[in-house]
Structure formats: structure tokens, C-alpha cells
Structure 1
Amino acid sequence: MKKNDHKILTLTVSPAIDKSTKFSGLVAEQKIRCEAPHFDAGGGGINVSKAIARLGGNSLAIFTVGGASGELLQELVKKEKIAYEVIKTESWTRENFIAVDTLTNAQYRFGMPGPAITTKEAQEILKAIEEAKPEFLVASGSLSPGLGDDFYERVAAVSRKTGSKLIIDTSGAPLEKAIDEGVFLLKPNVGELAKLVKAESLEINEVDDAARQIISKGKCEVVVVSLGPQGAVLVTKDICEHIPAPPVQKKSTVGAGDSMVGGMVWALSEGKDLSEMLRWGVACGSAATMNEGTQLFRKEDALKLIKWLNTYGEKYQIHPL
């Protein structure tokens, strides 16, 4: 499949190798015996591509790689059977560490800083996006040092030029600057949404008005606000819909947000409407919490949860808006 044959392109400028393990008892200054580690290709966009692949969809993942850890990252992505293109960097790809204490079931997550990206490498990333011309462009995750807070704004400018629908999942100044350029879909949580509208905090019944403030200024077309265990809210200029999260036994929240984005963009690429998109997002995000470590979700779990939402979701729907 050619590079520009992909409907969906995911961008990860600060990917990582996620190393996860288990141990029994955390005692300071003593050697902690861990189980054999499990390695996963990590980073927002890569996780979104993995989620799309689990649903039977295709995407092109563009991400940076550097050093021996970058070579391992490529091998891990290959195993997922995801089409990809890499931007080589002088700095090594970072590694993250996730450990679960089996005595308490407490999870410890150690995130390392992303590698520095040079001006030349940044230009290569933007060029790769422009050449691909996807229908949907997903920019997800934190920014590496050297890119500046305006990098996603530059990505938004490229997406506007190519006619791609930009779906962005980040936070802070990079998110604020990106929406100044204009995006198709935002996926903030309530706290992130509050910051975007310069509010100290938001109650659930204030979410729709806050989202419409952004939409009315022409900053984006769709806002999906993640409510965690309460599900998510979809807001456009004409629609406001709340979908509850299905009742599941939570084991880990790692990758739930990326799974949600993956489910949504896959649904859009399949021609599903916004309401169906939201249900698929909530189903995949909830399914991800049913697994330990960094495993995202299993397709069979997502299918069970989408069936539950389609059958019982309306009955259990909360109407705070």
C-alpha cells in the first residue's frame, strides 16, 4: 500500500519503549526482584495505530526513532503489523517503566523525557505529513524538547493545507496553540477543557457550554470530553450527547485514552456518524481498562462493550447536560 493510500495517519513525535513488570513489595534501598519484563511500542500516535489495527483497520504511523532503542521500537511496531514511516533522530528513543506491586495492586509509572528534536528533523516530520495527505490525521502525545509549544500548530497548518481532518490529543500550551490554527476534533478531559476556556474548574453540567465556546470561535468542529468512569460527552454546534462508560472491572488505565481515540478515528474512517463514533470510542477506552500493563484492549472485549452500549446504553444514560 502506498504512503498516500492510507485514510488515517498517526503522528508520534515522542514515542517510547514501554517496559512493564511486576514485583512483590516495595522497600526502599533494597533490591526489588521483578518478573521478566514485557516490551511494548508506546507513544500516543503509535497506540492509536495499534488500536485501529485491533479493530481491523489500517493506518500509517509516522514516528521518530534514534539509537538502539529506536531500532527496538521499529521491531515492536512491525510485530503489530502496522504500516509505518520513521524520522531518524540524533537522540535515542526514550524508554518508560511501568511496575505493579502484586501485594497492593498499586501501579507505578515512570515516564522519561523525550529526546531533543533538531530543526531539520522537525521539518522532515512536517514534510512527511504533507506528502501523505491523509483523510484523518491524528496528532497525539507530548512534544519532545526542541520542537517548541507551537509544533502542533504547525501540524494543524499542514493539515489545513492538505485538507486532512486533524484529531488532536495533547494538553497545555501545545493544545492551546494548535486550536488557534484550527482542528477538526479535540479530546480533552474536564480539567484540560477548563484550561482552554480559562476557567478554574468545570462542573459536569458546564461541559457543553465550555466546549461550544471553543466551537463558536471556529477553533474546531467536534469536542469529545472524556469523563473517565462516567464515559464521555460529544459536543458540536448542533449536538450534545453523553455516553456512559460500561460497567467493567478496571485493571489499568494505561492506554485507555489512546484506545478511545483509536476507536473514534476508526469509526470515522468507516463512515460511521458522530454518535456511533463516540460509542466506539467509549467501548475501546473502557475495554483497555480491563487489561493489565500496556496492552491496550482486546477486540472481543470492545465488541462486547459496543453491544452493551447499543443495547443498554440509553437506559443507563446520565443526562447532566
Structure 2
Amino acid sequence: MPVILTLTMNPALDVTVEADRVQPTDKIRCRAERYDAGGGGVNVARFAHAMGADVLAVLTVGGPTGKHVVELIDAASVPNVPVAVQGITRQSLTVNEGATGQQYRFVLPGPVLTAGEQRRCLDLLADAAAPADFVVASGSLPPGVAPDFYQRVADICRGRNARLVVDTSGGGLTQLTSGVFLLKPSVRELRECVGRPLDCETEQVAAARGLIDAGRAEVVVVSLGAEGVLVVTARESSRLSAMPVTAVSGVGAGDALVAGVVVGLARGWPLPTAVRYGIAAATAKLGTPGTSAFSRAEVDCLFDGFDVTVGR
């Protein structure tokens, strides 16, 4: 049975290309295109699988792009359960500009999901969550899905004794009220969730602890980009530094962080150690093109060879 189950309500076919320069009006001639299965939970499943974890990816799929996404997941030997929907699975486009080294990301909203399609996802989750140690609900909610959908997921996981990890934004984040084991917002998402600027670490810790005190999550892990990761529980907080790396692509780094943390926790590691493993996974991901996966050996090497600075 899977140790880690991921739920992706809005997967994507990630298309990555290179172009000399991105500018208006002119045709942008692209090259070196690559295609990856994407969307938060799909990425977490692929990355956790690469690190040796037992996973099961549950995702909605529709149309030719949905079929392509499943083919790519199958090619990576990641166990998956597609939930067929009437709409067409979205594409996401990343353009790497050669002249400046900048990366441009174009993200589509995704298909509208009917009430019946949403119920099928929840029913399947209810059946599959019982044997899972962790459920990871990750990514945006597509059109037609109520903002409290992830709270309904939390209620199911609580009834199945599965620990829920959520990485989302917007209404999917603000409508969570209880039942989340670990919440992983970026600092921008945390700022939007609490409606305050959060200009310093003290304010960020206070905002994260406010979510914990309100019973919305037990642990909050805030990704700070180049400044590292903030880990907050009811009693403690710490900031772990990022690892130095020359980034090839930042797409999927947050998903790799989540995957590494959950894999570490599934191995029975204490939270600080699991977060260190997540940072190693995110660093490995930054060194790969598109949203391609890395190897477990790369993550283990980074994990063993870098002394993460801890601030309190």
C-alpha cells in the first residue's frame, strides 16, 4: 500500500522552451522544447518516487494533454489513478530567455470541474487514504471547485488517520480551518493568507503560529526562496538556510521541498531532519531542466555534505 498519496486537482502538461529574447509583437522562435508531467501533487509524487518512497498519484485528466500527462507519469513508473474529466487538462509554458537568463512562466487556469467529477475525486480519496501514512494535497484548485475543497479533503484524512500536507494558495489556503498536519506556504502565500505585509521574520513566525493556534495546522513550513525555510510549531521556530546552487530552473522547487520533507517524515525522521532533506531535494531540483526529476543519489549527497545553518 502507498505510504504517500498525492492529490492533484489541476495537473498540467509542463512545456519548457528556450528563446533568444522575449518581446512583444514579434514572433518568438522557440527551441529545445521538453514536456513534463506537472501540477503540484504530480510533481511531489514523481520526486518522492525518485527518492525511493512508495507513492500513489491521484489526478484529474481530460483530453489529449491529460493523456500525455498520464503517459509521462507511466514512463517514470509512478503508480497513478487518473480521474477522467470532461474538460481538457491545461498546459503550462516556461520560456528561458537566453539574452538575459530570465525565466518566464505562463500558467493557464485549467478545466472547469463538475460537481460529479469533484465527488469522484473525494470518493476515490476516501478509499485510498486509509492505508496511506501521508496525503499531500498540492497545487491550485481549477475553475468550478469551491475554495473549501481542501477542507473537505482534510475532513476525509482526519477520519482515515492519514496525516495531511497541504501546499496551495488563494481560497484553497484561506478556507482551511482544521485537520492539516503540515501546511507549506511560500512567504507570499502566507502574507496573502493573513492579510499583513510580514516584513520580518518575527512577523512571519507570528503569522504561522497564529494559524497553528487557531487549529488550522500542526506545523507550518514557510519557503523563503534564497533565504531558506522557516519551520514553526506550537512551541518552537527555526530558520534553515538554503543551499548555494546555480539554478537551471526554479519550476517545481517548492514541490521538491514538500516531497523531501514528507519522505523524511515517512522514514520516521524528526521534523528538522526531514526539512533538511526537503531543502536538499529542492536544491537538486534547481539543477534540473524544466520540471524533470533528480536522482536519490543527488539528494542524499547534498543532504550528507551540506551543514544547514539554523537560526532561531
TM-score bin (small chain): over 0.9
Residue by residue, what CA displacement relative to the aligned partner does 1:199-246 show, whole Å, maximum 9, x if unpaired? 233411332222222212222111111111111121112332221111
Instruction: Return the match for 1:219 from 173, 198, 216.
Output: 216
- 1:241 is matched with which residue: 230, 238, 253? 238
Match of 2:118 in 1: 122
Matches within 5 A, 1:275-294: 275-294=272-291
Residue number in structure 2 paired with 1:108: 104
Of 196-205 and 45-54, more deviation after overlay is shown by 196-205
Whether 1:67 and 2:63 are equivalent positions in the alignment is yes
Letter in 1 for 2:156: V
Q: How does 1:135-174 map to 2 (within 5 A)?
A: 135-174=133-172
1:296 to partner: Cα distance: 4.3
Q: Structure 1 unaligned runs (5+)?
A: none
Return the offset for 1:257.
Answer: 0.2
> CA offset at residue 182 of structure 1?
2.5
Residue 44 in 1 paired to residue 40 in 2?
yes
**In the alignment, is the contact (CA less than 8 A) between 1:246 and 1:308 conserved in 2?**
no
- Classify 1:202/1:192 alpha carbon distance in 2 versus 1 (closer, same or farther; 3 Å): farther
**Partner Cα separation in structure 1 for residue 236 and residue 24 of structure 2:** 52
Query: Under a length normalisation based on structure 2, what TM-score does the superposition of the two structures give?
Result: 0.94
| Aligned pairs (5 A) from 1:1-321 | 5-132=1-128, 133=130, 134-178=132-176, 180-309=177-306, 312-313=307-308, 316-317=309-310, 319=311, 321=312
Deviations 1:17-40 (A, max 9, x none): 011111223344333332242110
> Structure 1 residues 31, 212: CA separation in 2 closer, same or farther (over 3 Å shift)?
closer
The one-letter amino acid paired with 2:162 is S
Supply the distance in 1 between the matched residues of 2:206 and 2:24 (Cα, whole angstroms): 48
Cα distance change on mapping 1:28 and 1:190 into 2, 3 Å? closer
Comparing 76-85 with 195-204, which one deviates more in the overlay? 195-204
Identical amino acids, percent of aligned pairs = 38
Are residues 157 and 36 of structure 1, via their aligned partners in 2, closer, same or farther at CA, if it must alter by over 3 Å? Answer: same
Instruction: Flag structure 2 segments of 5+ consecutive residues without an equivalent.
Output: none
Which residue identity lines up with residue 173 of structure 1 in the other structure? G
- 2:94 aligns to what SS in structure 1? strand
